[in-house]
Amino acid sequence: MQFRLICQNLLLCFLILQTSCRKQAPAESASETVVPVPTSTPSCDALAGTSWVPSISGVSVANHDDSSVTVTKDIYTGSGLLTGLGQSYSANSSHVITISGIDVSTDLLLGGSATLVAQTTGFPSSLSDGAYPVLISLNDGVNELVNVSGCTSGFYTCLSGNCNTPKVGCGPDPNGTGGSAFLGATAAERRSFWDQGQRIGTNDFLSVNTFPTCNWSSGTPSCSFNSSPGSFFAGSGKLRSGSGVTYTAKYVLLTSSYSSVGDSFSAGIKLTVVRKKDGNQGATNGATDLNVILVGTKNITQSRTDKGKQNLDALFTHVYNHYFTQNSSTTGIKLGKINVIEWDCTNGGDSYATVDLSKAGQMFSTGSALLPSSTETKALNIFLVSSITYSGSGTILGLSGGIPGAMINGTSSSGLVFSSLNKLGTYNPSCSSSGTCTISSQEPAFIDMGSTISHEMGHFMGLNHLSERDGSTHDKVPDTPQCTTLSGGHLTISSCRSESSCNNVCSSSQYASGPYCSDKTECQFNHVMWWTSKNYNSSGQGDGNIFSTNSSSIINYSPYVQ
């Protein structure tokens, strides 16, 4: 998970915790309210007023490119023996779960992708915690796409039962000679994306692996189909799909708490394969739907006031601006249909209105399971709560269920969440009581909330922070800057601007007057995925507004962009 923490001095800072066939009916409205059927009838206060119906300029179901994009979902199952963190196993043993006949007979075209979401099922009740479904092989009938090796003697090195050290040489293409279908120009980069997809060491017992078609001979993001050493994918150069093509996936169920387990313990896998067919490449003709889940009586009540409705429209106007208006030539993602879901007291929503970080996964799982099945893989789930607490010592502004998040409902990674701080009905008192709330009248904390939603959406669709707060870890996207200069023990906009790579191309006067040297790659710490707080001028330009070209390519492959 990724989350933002409001520190005691109220400076917004980021921490990282890595634990993420459609045809639009012409007459369908751009927004709709969906209220889940009550599952119980506790003593709940009646709700006054009418539900929020989004009124946001530019948002329309017509934004979807239905002539080019379709998304399909298939489910497969398998079972096998559990494997301990440091346990040896044979590549052909019952510890390896093989799922054959995965249908990829529809050509995924230029901008398509295949996403594999694997969940552990039937974990033995006699064991504690759970197991990670780790993808070790994906074969398209001609090519081995993942090429994991070096793990049969154990995924971790265990000493006295403590398994804290990943096995050296265990991973996809560890020697840089075989290639893998994970993005990245080097074996180390591809290993990083593989690690992230498997969720090993987290509390999410699922894995999410997305493979873009990489249907090009040059360009970005770096596609190992073409850049790998040797003859990997020679003569093909893209993810195979089309008539008669099927894939075979292999998984190992890696326990979370045991160095070794006996052969009497087994579990299952539910594998959901989401295939996106897309004739576009890059930022063209895409839109994403949203499920906005208002959690708890306080948020719902405030959302039903005139001020609450105005603020919600303003919040998602920021999202629309970040993904399209201000980045039409890079991200180019519009908003399609916004479904409004009121998760009220009768459905147990009040119990999650103030949610601790440790319960966020449970909220995603429970809340997303209540959503209409018709929105699955089509609408990104955004939970709005009153407050997100962190071990009783702080308040988190927002977090994503994973990088990327699960494309299906009912999992601990099925959404993102942000906090209203119970101010949905009181933010922006300077805005007129009628009409739109312009950015010049909005409070800085409110503007940052809009940036937080866009930021967490970026995580959910596969993007990391450019550089983490301690300056030691960076994303693998080639056209985003890296920063290592700290101030007060962490990165800041000023400390990173002082680095020569940026300082040489952007003067202090340029930075002060805006638009924050956004055209200089070395200075793009105003990227939406920058880890820390944002600063804006009166027109809304500033830190936290841009996506790089490569970052945009990555999220455009998400099944949510249709």
CB 299 within 8 A of CB 311: no
Q: CA nearest 75: which of 438, 407, 399?
A: 407
pLDDT of residue 394: 79
Looking at residue 176, what is its pLDDT? 67
**Mean pLDDT of the 59-79 span:** 92
Q: How would residue 219 be classed by pLDDT, with cut points 50, 70 and 90?
A: low
Task: State the pLDDT at residue 280.
Answer: 80
pLDDT at 161 over 60: yes
Q: Between residues 131 and 521, which one has the greater pLDDT?
A: 131
pLDDT tens-digit series, residues 318-372 = 999 999 998 998 899 999 999 999 999 999 999 999 999 999 999 999 999 999 9
324 CB-near residues (< 8 Å, 6+ apart): 58, 331, 332, 333, 334, 335
How buried is 260 (Cβ within 10 angstroms: 0-12 exposed, 13-18 middle, 19+ buried)?
middle
Name the pLDDT band for 2 (thresholds 50, 70, 90).
very low
Q: What pLDDT is recorded for position 237?
A: 57
Give me the percent of the chain exceeding a pLDDT of 70: 83
Is the model more confident about 43 or about 514? 43
Longest CA pairwise span in the chain (Å): 69
Instruction: List Cα–Cα distances, 289 to 32, 206, 259, 562, in angstroms.
Output: 11, 24, 43, 9
Element (H, E) at 502: helix 500-503
Beta strands in 174-221 (DSSP E): 206-212
Overall average pLDDT of the 238-242 stretch: 83
pLDDT at 49 exceeding the cut of 90: yes
Q: What is the pLDDT, as a whole number, of residue 541?
A: 53
Burial (CB < 10 A; 0-12, 13-18, 19+), residue 371, is buried
Cross-strand pairs, 209 = 116
| Sequence-separated (6 or more) residues with CB below 8 Å from residue 527 | 466, 480, 544, 546, 547, 548, 551
Q: What rounded mean pLDDT belongs to the chain?
A: 84
Report the Cα 522 to chain-centroid distance in Å. 25
3-class secondary structure per residue, 42-95 = CCCCCCCCCCCCCCCCCCCHHHCCCCCEEEEEEEEEEEEEEECCCCCCCCCCCC
Tell me, what's the pLDDT at 221? 61
**What is the structure's pLDDT at 532?**
65
Q: Give the span between the Cα atoms of 458 and 481, in whole angstroms.
A: 17
Residue 298 has pLDDT above 70, yes or no: yes
pLDDT of 30 above 60? no
Confidence of residue 511 (pLDDT cuts 50, 70, 90): low
Q: Are 530 and 465 in contact (CB under 8 A)?
A: yes
pLDDT band at 147; cut points 50, 70, 90: confident
pLDDT at position 225, please?
A: 57
Q: Position 358: which residue type?
A: S
Of the pLDDT bands very low, low, confident and very high (cuts 50, 70, 90), residue 538 is low
Tally of CB atoms within 10 A around 105:
11
Model confidence band, residue 41 (pLDDT cutoffs 50, 70, 90):
low
402 has pLDDT over 90: yes
Cα(174)–Cα(24) distance, integer angstroms: 44
**Residue 48 scores a pLDDT above 90:** yes
Min mean pLDDT across 15-19, 171-175, 420-424 is at 15-19
At 498, list the tokens: 């002082």
Query: Is the confidence at residue 228, as pLDDT, over 60?
Result: no
Specify the pLDDT at position 218. 56
Confidence of residue 102 (pLDDT cuts 50, 70, 90): very high
Strand partners, 16: 2
Q: Report the pLDDT averaged over residues 230-251.
A: 75
Residue 205 CA, chain-centre distance (Å), reads 16
Helix H or strand E segment including 117: strand 113-121
The answer to whether residues 254 and 85 touch, using CB atoms and an 8 Å cutoff, is: yes
Task: Match 């699960």 to its residue by tokens.
Answer: 406
pTM for the full predicted model: 0.90
Helix (H) or strand (E) holding 310: helix 306-323
How far apart are the two ends of the chain, measured CA to CA in Å? 25
Two structure tokens written together for 246: 């099927």
pLDDT at 388: 95
Please write the tens of the pLDDT for every residue from 247-290. Answer: 999 999 999 999 999 999 999 999 999 999 998 866 567 899 99
Question: Average pLDDT in the 130-140 region?
Answer: 96
pLDDT at 234: 45
**Per-residue confidence (pLDDT) for residue 65, from 0 to 100:** 84
Alpha-carbon distance of 544 to 452, in angstroms, equals 9
